[in-house]
């Protein structure tokens, strides 16, 4: 089992920045990748970004490319999501997830472990 704990959400004005963190614990050696998803009210959960855990290679959804950066600290078992130039449409609950599957994976059902989520609200 892998346990994930997110932090760093909050309220920010449009154009602002936030950094989310996700600390992994447990059987982290089984992870091949970690990712971020988000879910807005009334919408399905959508892929945001993922990173190959050992190689550190990122992959992004088109909607956040150029604004968000995913990174990881291998020694700390922590993945980050730096979000810049935030827009009101980025408002959602953001979830950290870990997968044992082949990388990159952008579908939520292929992720094995999930955090509890953290709220990000962007005001206009």
Res 50: pLDDT = 96
How far is Cα 120 from Cα 81, in angstroms, rounded to an integer? 12
What is the four-CA torsion angle of 50, 72, 80, 105, rounded to 10 degrees?
A: 10
Tens-of-pLDDT digits for all 124 residues of the chain?
Answer: 999 999 999 999 999 999 999 999 998 888 889 999 999 999 999 999 999 988 889 999 999 999 999 999 999 999 999 999 999 999 999 999 999 988 789 999 999 999 999 999 999 9
Q: Which tokens go with 29? A: 């050696």
In whole angstroms, give the CA distance from residue 32 to residue 105. 10
H-type alpha helices, the chain: none
How open is the CA angle 63-82-113, to the nearest 5 degrees? 80
């Amino acid at each position: 089992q892998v346990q994930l704990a997110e932090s760093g959400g909050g309220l920010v004005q449009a154009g602002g920045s936030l950094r989310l963190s996700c600390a992994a614990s447990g059987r982290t050696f089984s992870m091949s990748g970690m990712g971020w998803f988000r879910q807005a009210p009334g919408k399905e959960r959508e892929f945001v970004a993922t990173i190959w855990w050992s190689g550190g290679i990122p992959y992004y959804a088109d909607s956040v490319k150029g604004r968000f950066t995913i990174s990881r600290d291998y020694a700390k078992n922590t993945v980050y999501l730096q979000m810049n130039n935030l827009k009101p449409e980025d408002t959602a609950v953001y979830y950290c997830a870990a997968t044992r599957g082949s990388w990159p994976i952008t579908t939520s059902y292929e992720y094995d472990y999930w955090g509890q989520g953290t709220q990000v609200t962007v005001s206009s």
